[in-house]
Amino acid sequence: FGIRALLIVTITLSPATATAWSEKDATGEDVYPPLWDLAPENLLDFLVKGNKIVINAWNYQERLGVYKNLLSSSAKYFTAFGSQNFANILWGLPLQHGWQFRTGRLADPSGETSCGYEGGDLLCISVRSWWSCMNYYLAVIPFLGAVDAGLFGQLPYEVEILPPEERTADFCYSVADCRSRIPKLMDDWKAYFQVNNFPFFFHIFPATVSSFKVDDALRLMWKAHVASIAYALPKFQDSLKDLSDPEASFGEDWANGVDFIAATHFSTDLLTTNNFQDFLPQRMLTEEDDLPSISDFSPQQNRVLLSLRALHKANQLTG
């Protein structure tokens, strides 16, 4: 009960926050991930080479385009819940990716390359970044699962993801490749997108859709989300050493916290995710940062970081 109460306190959104989001939207301030308008809107907007759609998932704009195509292709299943696709529960994925980009978490943490830095290649996603490697399993794998499920219809070309310059064995690059290496994880994401393709789901009877149908979608989405993190976490454990101790702890706390957020079937639509992300740190944590008294973080941000750490410690202590 204590952990559940702590989680509810952490993720409950105040009316003031919702009002702030509405004001932000009304004033034209962008509520979308950075560079959203510039991301490829159609799969054929990516490079087509040798009868393949080739996607560079190590470029922020192209990885964002993967999300944009997922959102646009699944929009028709959420029309009963409002205009502009705001109710689509896949918004949590690109918004998280945008937060990682905006806060410098996709850049090379070693500083040995210019990947991800202004004055260098700002749109570069570093394979040395723990955050970017973890995010691959919440971007490329859902996308390939959707391709496998037929979300994009009959594509005229196969889809191929370009490998990074390092650690190529830690990733897969096509539907066939991923199905051979991580079949269970691919099945989890495919299951979510297959449900969205069933005619009875959001599509034929939108006027009679009830909350439990949305809850079914959230359950499947969070199941796949948690499975992605569980698979990637041990694989990239060594990348945490390149982060400051507070940042590495926060990364592990966040990965652990997702299990609890998932258990509540937290809605990851555009509004709710934007509200929640106001409580996340707006920069990388440094060795000087000491919870719960990080001076340039809001009291709410300090409280969320402390709550995530407490959840993680409780999880470790209880096994």
- Give the pLDDT of residue 80: 79
Q: How confident is the model at residue 110 (pLDDT cuts 50, 70, 90)?
A: very high
Determine, yes or no, domain membership for 124: yes
**Domain of 50?**
36-197+211-238
Determine, yes or no, domain membership for 268: no
Q: How confident is the model at residue 77 (pLDDT cuts 50, 70, 90)?
A: confident
Determine, yes or no, domain membership for 269: no
Determine, yes or no, domain membership for 289: no
- Locate tokens 């990885």: which residue? 63
**Two structure tokens written together for 240:** 């945490």
- What whole-number distance in Å separates Cα of residue 252 and Cα of residue 276? 18
Q: Which of 173, 159, 186 is nearest to 43 (CA)?
A: 159
User: What's the rounded mean pLDDT across residues 252-256?
Assistant: 96
Report cis status (omega within 30 of 0) of the bond before 33: no
**Two structure tokens written together for 43:** 């799969």
- What whole-number distance in Å separates Cα of residue 288 and Cα of residue 308? 19
Q: Are 304 and 3 in contact (CB under 8 A)?
A: no
Q: Is the pLDDT of residue 216 over 70?
A: yes
Determine, yes or no, domain membership for 283: no
Provide the number of structural domains found in the chain. 1
Q: Are 69 and 75 in contact (CB under 8 A)?
A: no
Determine, yes or no, domain membership for 139: yes
The residues near 49 (Cβ < 8 Å, ≥ 6 apart) are none
- Give the pLDDT of residue 59: 98
Per-residue pLDDT tens digits for 294-311:
999 999 999 999 999 999
Residue type, 63: R
Q: How confident is the model at residue 196 (pLDDT cuts 50, 70, 90)?
A: low
Q: Are 11 and 303 in contact (CB under 8 A)?
A: no
Per-residue pLDDT tens digits for 9-68:
454 444 444 444 444 543 344 799 999 999 999 999 999 999 999 999 999 999 999 999
| Beta bridge pairs of residue 59 | 124
Determine, yes or no, domain membership for 272: no
Determine, yes or no, domain membership for 307: no
